[in-house]
Chain A
């Protein structure tokens, strides 16, 4: 991993069209600004990872579990909950 030390207001460029600016450093929080083409998605890693993990688990879903879940949901609905 490339490690670079930067001060607030300073930037790094990645490739030709991505610029990361250190906007503010406050205690343990660092605010970054990222400029990139709209085709490049930028996400907080932990949210991205959470969705990816949910997708992985969801792809293992069992069809008979789903059938039972539907009957549970329909029952809940018809009992007026």
Chain B
């Protein structure tokens, strides 16, 4: 299917590649369908583009690249999504990156709101991680 996007023009995506978020992203509850694609070669980032809103796209990354011992309890998320039979190999974890405009060296990742994707079911949920030592502005470039 064709998806209209502000940043990438019209992109073509297989319907089965769409990721469904029944609750949307926090702050964007109406946007329930996304596609995930690599930012570019040699980049640790992915674009998480809304299917329904052309201008809405997040940048996400694999938290373990930056924090190998990162750990969150995905059980609650799996329960809320009724993924009862999900095994951990079905689940992928992403964190949302943020860059203050014009300050790319200040790139951070939000470690308390990871997105858990069930790649088998093509569903995802953004978790709220409470009681954790993690920052919502974890510096990725290590210098800010």
Contacts and interface: CB of A to CB of B under 8 A. Distances in A.
A binds B: yes
20 contacts: A38-B82, A43-B130, A50-B112, A51-B27, A51-B113, A51-B136, A54-B137, A55-B27, A55-B110, A58-B97, A60-B101, A65-B99, A65-B104, A67-B104, A69-B104, A69-B107, A69-B140, A72-B105, A74-B42, A76-B142
What's the interface size class on B, roughly? 35 or more
A56 interface: yes
B44 A70 contact: yes
Given A41-B128, A55-B58, A65 B101 contact: yes
Instruction: Name the prevailing secondary structure of the B interface residues.
Output: loop
Given A63-B7, A66-B99, A76-B142, A58 B59 contact: yes
Given A41-B128, A50-B112, A55 B102 contact: no
A68 interface: yes
Interface of B: 7, 23, 25-28, 39-40, 42-45, 56-59, 79-80, 82, 96-105, 107, 110, 112-113, 126, 128-130, 136-137, 140-142
